[in-house]
Amino acid sequence: MAYTKDQLMLAFSYMSYYGITHTGTAQENAELILSKMNQALKEWKPFQDDDWEVVWGPAVYTIPFTIFNDAMMYVAQKKGVEGEYVIAIRGTNPVSISDWLFNDFMVRKMKKWPYASVEGRKMKISKSTSYGLKTLQKLKPKSGIPGEGKTVLQFLNEQIGEEGEAKVCVTGHSKGGALSSTMALWLNDIQGKELSPNIDISTVPFAGPTAGNAAFANYFDDQLGDKCSRIANSLDIVPYAWNTKSLKKLKSLYLFELPPVLPSPFQRALITGMIAETKFKKYKQIKAETPALEGHFNPLLIEYLVQAAYQHVVGYPELMNMKDDIPLADIFEDAIAGLL
């Protein structure tokens, strides 16, 4: 089977979830994740047509005084092919409370997009997206890990040079979906200043919430719209965040399915709270007119959040004809027990 670019990026995105339940040091986690990824690059079907290798990372970050690693990013390259890179960013660690709090739900406050200025546009991103991007910009692989001691920008400059040509695709799922498109825009904005102007930058974000406001989304569309393939599942609750109007749809998202599934009173209250938090912020999806993939409802899952988790995790390989190609149980270990 020949895999499309989008399918290949989904595999790279999901591979970034290795190590989410491990509690060792950043060094130990990086070594463990690298071992898992090297094995995946040899065994997963999507990687069989080309010979890929991890050339930078994985770089792992754990918020101080917490247990689980909250951020991870790596760079892969085709062996024997110069100048073709994939930057993959992990989404939310489902077992890390600190990741949910700091990297997902800080949406009431927004930060100015500092890498470009367009007259008449007040481009802003959520505090969570700003925090997440800054974390990724500072990440450096540990000793013995590919690219050790270098940020991803330093690595790219070293590999590509000031005027070199290359192709760089940034991808990620969930939180990684919002961050991958945001990182791609950052790389695009610094081209010709801190990065070679001859790099073809693209992005394939999956299942991402909004990163910023309408001015930011419109600017992204102007800059990278034709280089972005945003993929969302119509039954996944995450891409409905954080636009106020789309958040309102979550209360009845599964109402007309068989059997109908509704959020509990507590879950409805959470949705109401999210709507209040984002009111007047004008959050907007990048490429907002892109139609979502038509989700497949699972009638066996009659609890709202369980159905939502299924759609968010299992839904994408299922809808992209890759359910047998990505070993979800191996990647997520006990974090999604019962969904598969």
pLDDT digits (tens, 9 = 90+) for 90-110: 998 676 555 554 555 789 999
> Domain 5-336 is in which class?
alpha beta
Q: For 148-206, how does the pLDDT look when each residue is reduced to its tens digit (9 = 90+)?
A: 999 999 999 999 999 999 999 999 999 999 999 999 999 999 999 999 999 999 999 99
pLDDT in tens, 278-303: 999 999 999 999 999 999 999 999 99
Binned at pLDDT 50, 70 and 90, residue 337 comes out as very low
- Residues 314-327: what's their mean pLDDT? 96
Instruction: Please state, rounded to an integer, the average pLDDT across all residues of the chain.
Output: 92
What is the per-residue pLDDT for 101? Answer: 47
- Give the percent of the chain with pLDDT over 70: 94
Locate 235 and state its tokens.
């039954």
Q: Are strands 199-206 and 166-173 parallel, antiparallel or unpaired?
A: parallel
User: Looking at residue 298, what is its pLDDT?
Assistant: 97
Q: What's residue 47's pLDDT? A: 94
- Percent of the chain residues past pLDDT 90, beyond the cut: 81
Check residue 104 and give its pLDDT: 55
